[in-house]
Structure 1
Amino acid sequence: MQEKEFEEAKRIIAALKEQGASSIGAAGYCWGAKLVTELAKANEIQAAAMSHPSFVSVDDIKETKCPIAILGAETDFMSPPELVKQFEQILSDSGIRHFVKIYPGVSHGWTVRYNSDDATAVKWAEQAMVDMTSWFNENLK
């Protein structure tokens, strides 16, 4: 992750807090998940969510300081289900509130790059949005 993006995100968070926001959540898709984990590790946000994360390591998850949702794909070369399950175990062991789900029959990028003519793809993309929205509603009060 580039330090430039992290610093820019911190400036945005500071501006939101200046406007009166008392809690901030961040969602990252694919490589954006890495930025979200960096914000969660630095205690900059109060809740995090990521879909089909890329470049997120076990060490990143070990350092997470806020509730986090991880939405994984059944077929994913960047974050295979085995890695996502490892993330879940780390979070369980650490006591960090978390939601981890592996969506069946989908592949990396399914939440943002799917065939809108494929009813199954649409169903799971929509369900991921519901799950993420619910996560933030529960954790950003």
Structure 2
Amino acid sequence: MPTKTLHIPTADGRADAFAAFPERAGRHPGVLMYADGFGLRPALREMACELAGHGYYVLVPNLFYRHGPAPVIELPAHIGEEDRSAVFAQLMPLIEAHTTERVLRDADAYLRFLTTRPEVSVGPVAVTGYCIGGLLAVRTAAAHCGQVAAVAGFHAPVGAAGSDTLSRLTAPVHFGHAESDLTPEALGELNQVLDAAGVDHTSEIYPGTVHGFTMSDTDTFNPTALRLHWDRLLPLLDRALTHG
């Protein structure tokens, strides 16, 4: 699987990023993938390569590039419960500094870079994200309706985007929630917002999951839920970018 380390010009500097794409020559539909709060690391590179194997050019930026190249902080190879407090003590200041204004400035740069890559097909792209990255995916899609053809978020606090932002979504959506993150009542409220706005969506709680279920380098990883994630994500991308 061809991969590259790239640098994306932004309003605030240059963001390092990882890209994976199919071996066959030509142009491929583009996907902007936002990492979870632990950032760009081998587990995210593996997911990008998996998705690229299905025919997509996948770009994963370092969300915290303002603080240095990835990995911005030293992470254990496996992030267990005993590691989380120390890791988040370092990460939370970075996450809190990543304001909505920064998110939207960066999204402009990421989409401009992705859509002008010679390996990427002309036309709309998709945006997907994990944990805080799912919230970023929503904000990106709402701000770039003409460029984003599908949006997905997994174990993501998408409700934090607010009903105004969610109501601006025009692309088909899939949200896969952790059972530990969202009650059925809260899911119903979120889906009511999407329904009222006429957003084409599926939004569901993945059974037996806790926050971070897609991340293979954490103790919250759930391989069954990861397969369900692919079962939901791949058809969404296929409809929006390949046969839309």
Report the TM-score range of the alignment, normalised by the length of the smaller protein: 0.7 to 0.9
Aligned residue number for residue 177 of structure 2: 72
Larger Rg: 2
Determine the structure 1 residue equivalent to 2:198. Answer: 95
One-letter code of the match for 1:86?
E
CA contact (8 A) 2:127 2:137 kept: yes
Q: CA deviation at 1:80?
A: 3.9
Q: Does 1:28 align with 2:129?
A: yes
Separation in 2 of the partners of 1:59 and 1:30? 20
Tell me: CA distance 1:74–1:124, structure 2 relative to 1, closer, same or farther (3 Å): same
- State the 1:103 CA deviation: 0.7
Match of 2:13 in 1: none
Change (3 A) 1:132 1:22: same
Please tell me whether residue 41 in structure 1 is matched to residue 179 in structure 2. no
After TM superposition, list the pairs within 5 Å mapping 1:1-141 onto structure 2. Answer: 2=99, 3-19=101-117, 20-42=121-143, 43=145, 44-54=147-157, 55-76=160-181, 79-112=182-215, 115=219, 121-140=222-241, 141=244
Q: Verify the 8 A CA contact 1:33 1:56 in the aligned structure 2.
A: no
The residue type paired with residue 101 of structure 1 is: E
Question: Which residue is 2:7 aligned to?
Answer: none
Query: Secondary structure, in 3 states, of the residue corresponding to 1:46?
Result: strand
Asked whether the 8 Å contact 1:72–1:81 carries over to 2, the reply is: no
Q: Distance in 1 between matches of 2:227 and 2:142?
A: 28
Identity %: 24
Is contact 1:73–1:80 with CA below 8 Å preserved after alignment?
no
Q: Which ranges in structure 2 are unaligned for 5 or more consecutive residues? A: 1-97
Secondary structure, aligned partner of 1:130: helix
Q: TM (normalized to structure 2)?
A: 0.49
Distance 1:134 1:84 in 2: 22
Name whichever of 105-114 and 45-54 sits farther off: 105-114
| TM-score, normalised by the number of residues in structure 1 | 0.80
**SS of the residue 2:178 aligns to:** strand
Matched pairs, number: 136
Highest RCO, 1 vs 2 (Cα 8 Å, sep ≥ 6) = 1
What is the CA distance between 1:82 and its match in structure 2? 2.8
Q: Which residue of 1 aligns with 2:81?
A: none
